[in-house]
Structure 1
């Protein structure tokens, strides 16, 4: 038999209001107040899903956020939400849900063959099973099979809301203890907020109440995120937090304990009392604690057929035994359920009694293996736990600043985690990820003796429920296996969110352009007028200016050639502009940069690198010393915002120096005029200062007037040509652009975009941090080791440069790569080492119109020692021959910088 609706009871449903819904394409009817899970049970639906790895049949097991089996895909037109717990979905008219992880159908799942081949899928199988003859033969299939629900293919249409809330006291949990704490605090005059996953909380004077609201996590300084019905995100700041989050039931591992129809005893009690739903006609309860008895007795009182209670303990309170017998329930003490039987659903169990084995028929089983405190939020807040012998659970222990635990008293339970004698390969501990007792014991034999290592090796507790059902039993089975005392281990670490949460809700009001506003150049309309094609580079920037039907590549090559032969105009406004001033500014920057800004004279510019604490290159760029002694830093456009945050962080948290940092990036536009005729263009606009190389040499900065506007001009180059970067107030960007175009017309000036700049900088071997560097690249790898050797003082990351790995002769170094066929090498292509392994990779590659061949840069092991060597570049099954060369492919002497 299957589940059905009882004729009476059900405190949460409205029998007068029917709701139609669909599951796996079939229409059903539920009642107002139902969850999807209770409605499915009431309609006799037992099979609701398939397990992750073995694709075994799965039925509803819990009644709340602990549910691990009943995961569905909610569909809303073209959009959908994957991996939603059916127990957490309030039934709505027209709701459409489908089971996940099954094909072609739930009842006939072709991947169910995995269960027959379970020997191949033991703990950590992906590390050891499919290694021969080649992992890549199997990788595509394993990756294709991974995952549960389907990722939506259209943007989430749901509208989410974010609210900011402050209170003196936040109480999480609306049970007896939570209500009492909230009421008392309100009487004491505190502002109190009470949140609870449930609904129907009583109204308390002076207490704000958020029902159907889940606290997702607790962070420093009383910050809590909470979600109401999956649609409203509350960002809560509380002076004090009380956790009254209650308790969670756990199961017992016995053979075939995953059959549909086997549920938590407490969940059965909730379905009966709240929704008037019986899971079947004849049930057996397998328990080791008194609350399991109460669930069985209360179910029987409501008319559910309960055939027997099987208790691992030798005796129980006489009151409970008498009440059970009064309902005709058979009692078995000092007994265990050794195994369950059935195909597709439970039809009976084998009981191990003191006098032998016996088999009982049933159509549902309620299991209660004890109760754990719902302490996940406590541990998220930094709280510790301690093993409690009486309840066989980990209870919150110690103190946490501004957080108080007000959970239930430990519930006594017999220490039983597995029923020995059955097939351990079918004793499931984590039902979603198919982790069995056999898997845990195998991991222990392979020396995974830490709970956290066990979790990652077996994926125990890494499902949607985050181990609410499995983490404690898993830890205890591991302890038994390795002979450790239970108190020496702990449940695995739980991370936010406490319940599954949509990414859209986490973003809430910060979505799309509200999360990262689209940034436009001050002269955006000017570029539109000039025919620019824009791409998102953090800012909307011109990629190129195609003419006459050109594609982007053709336009970029034309623009790059124009810069080399004549003159070009580039908008560099996103380039960082950070003023650093103060009596200790120079000393401060000496600690930040690899170079020595303090020795820089006013009016001059120097190139520098910024490292992180691991010695890895964070950014490169120039810094100038202005006439008043302050510094103007020019980090790359990609790092400009982060550079400001880095400087502020260092000043506030590391070095409290007398320095002021001001970000003026968006206050100024930057026009770069580059090419042999660049000086002629500027001279046509009547500058108030001498542009000659003698008076305005390379790496210098001048302030004055140009075309009647106040400007700051830096003579720096990212193209290798004579180049001037002209900074003007952002409001004058269009005016200056028009003036430069008019002045450059006699010299054939053309605007050029990012793609042309890429060609120019690769020809000259100029790096782009993040493209030509990776998370391991250090200054010596790009030829900047000399500056470190000369510098005597300390700087950010210097200590890391003395580590053995930093001094290794086998580091990847930046070099040029020249294709022997003259073509373009593939970015990301690997430099094949003699061993057949990767010995480096191509970082940047373009076609050079001025050289008539491809140019490329790459990071290659021992690259500087291997100049002239012919290497093989491989990518996607193809190969190229290339010569390792100097990074500079064009104008190696640098004479064009001063044309």
Structure 2
């Protein structure tokens, strides 16, 4: 099809290179530099999709990221199918294949459009009411059909063959937005030598200069100045320029997430080129130059294909050289739409009429439009658009009513004003403020080191915007040590006027009308829907949003939110600030799973962590289990042994002789500094000030609410140095917990925290012969009971390697934990293994470790605790310093519910039949004959067969458990109800004599 709407002599694209593409199976031609949207419009194609709920015909509304209608599916091959791509952002390349979405059997004839004719049945909130009855119909009827209808595009069903990159970056100044303001700010900062990153979501920098034909900077065309300035910035060593890069999220401490589209615009991506690149940027200051977004007019049937934003039509003409129609109508409450009409008129496009809602508009733009012979109708409203698959007319009348007149058109341009893009500012936790004079929200109270400039700050005039932005860049550079330079501030000028601003539904789009006046295009939300939500009792704008789904589509309400808010406020009889504003959340625009997941898929989806002895364990037949991200030896079966036989043998061997266990996955943290002991006093329940260097202590860490958070053995290496161990699963969170308190609650303490979990391999040698195995290999440490009693730590060497040797036990037998640098872990293990063979020792895995510790009643946080267990519940009151007056959780422990009778307490359970092993997690009842539902008084936390005890053993938390010693309780299981006796949780060596055995 010939490109009948390409206007010769207009636009910036060289029309020498053609790009062929297809849409819904039809072949078209565009030119290099087009977007899919501009190429379709150049070929006279306005119908590009169907709306979500009503399946109404939809066209191209905008020219940027705010597009709610023109969502298409891009297909490179069978594995590369990307749904919901905005045609206004997708760059054209030769061979591009696109399909419309949410229609069947075709775009022009969609049977789903029947829902439009039945629109009265699908008013706002209908889904909350319709699908409640009959109850049985949900699974059989409603849910399958809702799931089938959900979504717009079709998700790919094959693995993604592309790869994605990730980069971390630091800079002094991060400028988000590459329009005139963003470029000016970047220039001012970059010229002083500070590190600058400038990014913009478009392929080319310039922002609104793409369509502002009358803008100039330093006497030159604004667009030409933008391109020259960006080229200058790109040539600087201290500047990184990122086009096609969207800032999607603004997080704490000036951390900003960017997604760069690297190859989606290329017909043949180069070898090794990623599809997208995720940038994680930490900036000393962020300059927000994100501009503003034009709003549409809310009137009946304002969603017809061919109805679009005035700035979009101007962009397609002035940048792409494409006319959006031949006979164009304009509906506005804002001066900027006049500029669009003037540009189109000068390009030879007939402007049928300008309809201005304002009573007496007066500006140079209005005067110029009249001088060009354009009919201007002020004080009037467009009450409906005609046509179906393409707009064919607009019907106007005075605002007061009466005197209808229908004007034939093939496109309608509309503008009700501009909404500053405060999304990223709001994500930074900044508070917006409503400016009553201009009826818009602007940046108010700042929460991070950032500054808003230009249109996003309410500065509409390009001259003032460039001045404001340049000053912000200069200020940031001075504060961050930039060198003084004699720079010449750019002088911008423009004939543009942003006068006029209108929010809400236009006259004629009343609640009583049967026709639909759309506020949110993608989710088919009308002005009537919002009024209905208020009448249904919704008073909060957040509730209105969810009831109607306004602003919940992929465009996140960029064009609709302010209209929806204004209509709700009007219906409630309140001012807009009283109703509030919905929350701006990341991402600013949709981000692909590929960009976020990045390399983390396939074998790297969940990184596999292996200890230093993994290869040895694998060679010796270990069966592994996943513990978090770690591969841990579960048990070491010999020929003919199943798991139970192997674990039984390992348990007996450790008790009779010795066993070697890899405990490297334990979390390890060094707490160092003059105030290290004071810090430990505050983080743990135990006392630490008087613990001698070289001694260890079991420590419990609580949350503020008094519940157990983690536990572990802590060794004091020196007066100012502690070696803290945590549970394997708690390593990262305990480190974060400590850092949080150090930075926010105890910043006066002179302490440093260092995670050393990866640096030390830990080999636990447990059992009566453990000292005999270790002693021949150790130098510089006296391992006698007198010199190194239980709960001691010494530093020396083993096999010539530095070691931190702990005498401690998680089995209840004499035991040691050998800490050596991880690089030497396997070598030291092999030496210990060789010594161990002389004494009949075995290697044992995590299952045996669990059984041995359960025999002694030692808890595992997260298994025997569930986030609601206190030290008293676990029988660990002895670990709370009796004279301590302050530590994290001390006030929580005094809560009435934590000291009340009836709390669940840790106890042991013995089954009446010693061969019966309880199921972990099984519930416990006092009377198995009580009616269903039974009253559950506790549950089994740990349960094993103990070969050393010759019977099953279990631990449980039971209401008033310690008062029930010797009583019989019952555990319902699939095999029947099991009788159990409540007992001490210590099943083996109750007096603890084996610790020195």
TM-score, scaled to structure 2: 0.75
For residues 761 and 186 of structure 1, do their structure 2 counterparts lie closer, same or farther at Cα, with a shift above 3 Å needed? closer
Equivalent residues of 1:561, 1:849 under 8 A apart = no
Query: Match of 2:622?
Result: 532
Matched-pair contact (CA < 8 Å) for 1:51–1:432: yes
RMSD over aligned CA atoms reads 4.9
Any residues of structure 2 matched to 1:706-745 within 5 Å, and which? Answer: 712-719=804-811, 723-745=815-837
825-834 or 280-289, which deviates more: 825-834
CA offsets per residue over residues 138-181 of structure 1, 9 Å max, x none? 667766765555377535623435363635x6554444445555
- From 133, 136, 141, give the equivalent of 2:135: 133
Do 1:218 and 1:381's aligned partners in 2 also have CA atoms closer than 8 Å? yes
Mapping 1:139-538, distance limit 5 Å: 150=155, 154=159, 157-160=162-165, 162=167, 164=169, 166-167=171-172, 171-179=175-183, 194-198=198-202, 199=204, 201-204=226-229, 207-208=233-234, 210-218=242-250, 224-229=256-261, 231-232=276-277, 242-280=287-325, 282-304=327-349, 306-317=351-362, 332-340=377-385, 346=391, 348=393, 350-353=395-398, 354-357=401-404, 362-381=409-428, 383-397=430-444, 403-407=451-455, 408-409=460-461, 411-418=499-506, 419-423=509-513, 426-445=516-535, 447-456=537-546, 458-502=548-592, 504-505=594-595, 519-534=609-624, 537-538=628-629
Greater CA deviation, 187-196 or 345-354? 187-196
Instruction: Name 1:31's counterpart in structure 2.
Output: 31
Report the Cα distance in structure 2 between the residues aligned to 1:55 and 1:696, rounded to whole angstroms.
Answer: 79
Given the superposition, is the C-alpha separation of residues 484 and 793 from structure 1 closer, same or farther in structure 2, using an over 3 Å criterion? Answer: same
SS in 1 for 2:88: helix
Give the Cα separation in 2 of the matches to 1:774 and 1:4: 70
CA distance in 2 between partners of 1:887 and 1:341 (Å): 83
Q: Which moved more, 1:131-140 or 1:771-780?
A: 131-140
* Structure 2 equivalent of residue 576 of structure 1: 667
Structure 1 distance, partners of 2:54, 2:979, is: 51
1:62–1:87 contact (8 Å) kept in structure 2: yes
| Shift in CA distance, 773/43, structure 1 to aligned 2, threshold 3 Å | farther
What is the distance in 2 between the residues matched to 1:499 and 1:813? 50
| Residues in 1 aligned to 2:559 and 2:570: alpha-carbon distance in whole angstroms | 18
Distance 2:774 2:874 in 1: 34
Paired residue secondary structure (2:570): helix
Conserved in 1, the CA contact under 8 Å of 2:700 and 2:879?
no
Name which of 945, 951, 975 aligns with 1:848: 945
Deviations 1:753-812 (A, max 9, x none): 334434555666644334554555544454445655845321112223344565576877
Taking a change above 3 Å as real, the CA distance of residues 161 and 426 of structure 1, as seen in their structure-2 partners, is: same
Name the SS of the counterpart of 1:501 in structure 2: coil
Q: Write the distance in 1 (CA, Å) between the matches of 2:115 and 2:909.
A: 48
SS in structure 1 of the partner of residue 227 of structure 2: coil
**Cα 1:870–1:843 shift into 2, 3 Å:** closer
SS at the partner of 1:203? helix
Residue 987 of structure 2, aligned match among 870, 891, 898? 891
Q: Taking structure 1 as reference, are residues 771 and 327 closer, same or farther at Cα in structure 2, changes over 3 Å only?
A: farther
Whole-angstrom CA distance in 2 between matches of 1:82 and 1:191:
37
Q: 1:662 to 1:498 in 2, by over 3 A?
A: closer
Displacement of 1:63 after TM fit?
1.0
Does the residue aligned with 2:34 lie in a helix, a strand or coil?
Answer: coil
- The range that moved more, 752-761 or 216-225, is 216-225
More divergent stretch after superposition (90-99 vs 123-132): 123-132
* Local SS of the residue matching 1:5: coil
**SS in structure 2 opposite 1:338?**
strand
Q: 8 Å contact 2:910–2:982 — kept in the other structure? A: no
SS in 1 for 2:819: strand
Which whole-Å CA distance do the structure 2 matches of 1:815 and 1:515 have between them?
40
Whole-Å Cα distance in 2 between the matches of residues 280 and 524 of structure 1?
70
- Post-superposition shift, 1:214? 3.5
Q: Distance in 2 between matches of 1:31 and 1:551?
A: 69
- Contact kept, 8 Å, 2:503 with 2:563, in 1: the verdict is no
Q: Which of 570, 595, 610 is the aligned partner of 2:701? A: 610
| SS of residue paired to 1:597 | coil
2:893 to 801, 819, 831: 801
Change (3 A) 1:695 1:61: same
> Partners in 2 of 1:21 and 1:838 — Cα distance?
68
Structure 1 distance, partners of 2:725, 2:898, is: 27
Question: What SS does the aligned partner of 2:615 have?
Answer: helix
Do the aligned partners of 1:595 and 1:791 also contact (CA within 8 Å) in 2?
no
Report if aligned partners of 2:353, 2:377 keep a CA contact under 8 Å in 1. yes
Contact 1:225 1:233 (8 Å CA) reproduced: yes
Residue 768 of structure 1 pairs with residue 860 of structure 2:
yes
Q: Distance in 2 between matches of 1:216 and 1:782?
A: 46
Structure 1: gaps (5+ residues)? none
CA distance in structure 2 between the aligned counterparts of 1:884 and 1:295, rounded to whole angstroms: 84
Secondary structure of the corresponding residue to residue 271 of structure 1 = helix
Displacement of 1:843 in angstroms is 8.3
Greater shift, 121-130 or 13-22, is seen at 121-130
- Measure, in 2, the Cα distance between the counterparts of 1:360 and 1:557: 91
Secondary structure (helix, strand or coil) at the match of 1:268 reads: helix
1:67 to partner: Cα distance: 1.0
Name the SS of the counterpart of 1:526 in structure 2.
Answer: helix
- Separation in structure 2 between the aligned mates of residue 653 and residue 349 of structure 1, nearest angstrom: 61
Matched, 1:753 2:845: yes
- The SS at the match of 1:595 is coil
Distance between the aligned counterparts of 2:736 and 2:896, measured in 1?
31
Using a 3 Å threshold, how does the CA distance of structure 1 residues 689 and 399 change in structure 2: closer, same or farther?
Answer: closer
The C-alpha deviation readout for 1:640-677, integer Å capped at 9, x for no partner, is 34444544554454333355555544443222234566
**Separation (CA, whole Å) in 1 of partners of 2:499 and 2:130:** 42
Listed as ranges, the matches of 1:69-148 within 5 Å are 69-77=69-77, 78-99=79-100, 116=118, 119=121, 122-123=124-125, 125=127, 130=132, 133=135, 137=139
Q: Return the offset for 1:285.
A: 3.1
- The answer to whether the 8 A contact 1:425-1:439 is kept is no
Aligned length: 894
**1:10-49 alignment to 2 at 5 Å?**
10-24=10-24, 27-49=27-49
Query: Offset of 1:250 from its aligned partner?
Result: 0.9
CA apart distance, 1:288? 1.7
Residues 86, 550 of structure 1: alpha-carbon distance in 2 compared, 3 angstrom cutoff:
farther
Quick check: 633-642 or 328-337, which moved more?
A: 328-337
1:569 Cα offset (Å):
2.1
Cα distance in 1, alignment partners of residues 721 and 358 from structure 2: 80
Normalised by the length of structure 1, the TM-score is 0.82
CA separation of 1:397 and 1:702: change in aligned 2, threshold 3 A:
closer
C-alpha deviation, 1:844, in angstroms: 5.8
Contact 1:162 1:508 in 2 (8 A): no
Instruction: Report how far residue 258 of structure 1 moved.
Output: 3.5
**Secondary structure of residue in 1 paired with 2:17:** strand
Q: Output aligned runs, 1:639-678, within 5 Å.
A: 639-655=730-746, 656-659=748-751, 661=753, 663-675=755-767, 678=770
Retained in 1: the 8 A contact 2:131–2:138? no
